[in-house]
Amino acid sequence: MRILVLGGDGYLGWPTALHLSQRGHEVAVLDNFSRRLWDHELGAESLTPIETLQQRVAVWRQITGKIITPFIGDLCDYTFLEPVIRDFQPEAVVHFGEQRSAPYSMIDRQHAVFTHVNNVVGTLNLLYALADHAPDCHLVKLGTMGEYGTPNIDIEEGYITITHKGRTDTLPYPKQPGSWYHATKVHDSTNILFACRIWGLRATDLNQGVVYGVETPETTMDPRLATRFDYDGVFGTALNRFLVQAVVGLPLTVYGKGGQTRGFLDIRDTLACVEIAILNPAPRGELRVFNQFTEQFNVAGLAEAVREAAQEFGLDVAIHHLPNPRVEKEEHYYNAANTRLLDLGLKPHYLSETLLESVMRVVMHHRDRVRPELIMPAVNWRRTHNPVLPTEE
């Protein structure tokens, strides 16, 4: 198939492009390198050294003979995006190309507005380009489990059947995003659903949990194919951060009580889920939703698992409960459905000590690149001049 990967220079987009190319698909990647710019803004850097996109693509061709075509530009620039869709004629578009950090979106008004414009306008432009130039193309959109929040009832896959005052309907599952970033994913879902309804587009929203890990079969073929690995307080995610903290001898940063439960998955399963979605396209006119995670953990439990795995390396790890910089429930019910990808054949890589240890080995290899000053969280969800806001919901 002809597949366009948006955000193809990022943590997940690059290994996904490699995986699809290796499977024989004709792959192009699109990116505007904004993620690299945000690193400059924050003074941060990927733990793993990453090559330029042009170099990555050249190395891949050198090793495998396979061609990945790069398109460099901004999804928010329609004069750039429209001809890409018109000329490449993708059969599937995988959309990773958004600002994906909750803390980044909470820095201040400017970052909140930027995240909204970047994500919502980029996706809206894409919907128009698909409707006008590739209406049969399957949009595989990366959403987030964080669209649902932490309701006190089971979370379904996208939709819930409700009987209200004697009448029954199946409706989009209620959304309670936990940051301005997560809110952009909710807005995207609304817009994609509307476009499917009025224009007959086909789409799959992959409501993904928190991803961990760094290596995939393709990225390990050459060090120059490595994907990025973030551990800083803005772009680093929970488990990946804990593994870096353990290796460099810093206490693990559990926010608040640590009872926050989320869905998690191995980076290799991200690639598999995207491929499964592509090979089983949604019907025309439908926005299909899959919850893309393989296991649920709470943050304190993950910290404990990292501490145990670190002991195998002779590392003595402390766990600190920091005042929570976010406004979120720290103890709550959480039970989310995730059977639809399994039904289509997903074979998960469950979190085991083997995975923790293999990521720790990668971190140890690059430990001299770790900048400890980037680790503590510096973005607070509360407005400091408003003392009545809760410390915990």
Could you give the residue numbers annotated as active site?
Answer: 144, 181, 185
Binding status of residue 326 toward ligand USQ by CB under 6 A: yes
Q: Which long-range contacts (CB under 8 A, 24 or more apart) does 369-373 make?
A: 369/45, 369/47, 369/49, 370/47, 370/231, 370/244, 370/247, 370/248, 371/44, 371/45, 371/232, 372/248, 372/250
With CB under 5 to 8 Å by kind, the binding choice for 260 among ligand USQ, ligand NAD, none is ligand USQ
Q: Pick one of 8, 90, 146, 281: the residue that binds ligand USQ (CB under 6 A).
A: 146
Picked from ligand NAD, ligand USQ, none, the partner binding residue 186 (CB below 5 to 8 A depending on kind) is none
Name the binder of 326 from ligand NAD, ligand USQ, none, CB < 5-8 A by kind.
ligand USQ
Choose which of 271, 328, 341, 359 interacts with ligand USQ (CB under 6 A): 328
String of contacts with ligand USQ for each residue 92-111, x by CB under 6 A: --------xxx---------
Tokens encoding 21: 């190319």
| Residue 338 partner contact from ligand NAD, ligand USQ, none using kind-dependent CB cut-offs of 5 to 8 Å | none
Name the residue nearer to ligand USQ (CB basis): 188 or 218: 188
Q: Does 262 bind ligand USQ (CB under 6 A)?
A: yes
Q: In sequence order, which residues have a C-beta less than 8 Å from that of residue 198 and are 6 or more positions away?
A: none
Considering only residues 46-85, where is the footprint of ligand NAD by CB under 6 A?
74-76
> What would you measure as the largest C-alpha separation in the chain, in angstroms?
64
Structural contact between residues 180 and 326, judged by C-beta atoms closer than 8 angstroms: no
34 binds ligand NAD (CB under 6 A): yes
Q: Which does 334 bind (CB under 5 to 8 A by kind): ligand NAD, ligand USQ, none?
A: none
Nearer to ligand USQ (CB atom), residue 25 or residue 35: 35
Element (DSSP H or E) covering residue 238: helix 238-248
**Residue located via tokens 């409707």:** 131
DSSP output for 259-310: B-EEEEEEHHHHHHHHHHHHHSPPPTT-EEEEEE-SEEEEHHHHHHHHHHHH
Q: Is 11 in the site for ligand NAD (CB under 6 A)?
A: yes
- Residues in a beta bridge with 261: 298
Residue 241 sits in the site that holds ligand USQ (CB under 6 A): yes
Site for ligand USQ in 48-77 (CB under 6 A): none
Q: Which of 134, 210, 225, 379 binds ligand NAD (CB under 6 A)?
A: 210
| Minimal distance, residue 60 CB to ligand USQ, in Å | 25
* Residue 98 binds ligand NAD, judged by CB under 6 A: yes
CA 254-259-264 angle, 5° bins? 80
Q: Is 254 helix (H, G, I), strand (E, B) or coil?
A: strand
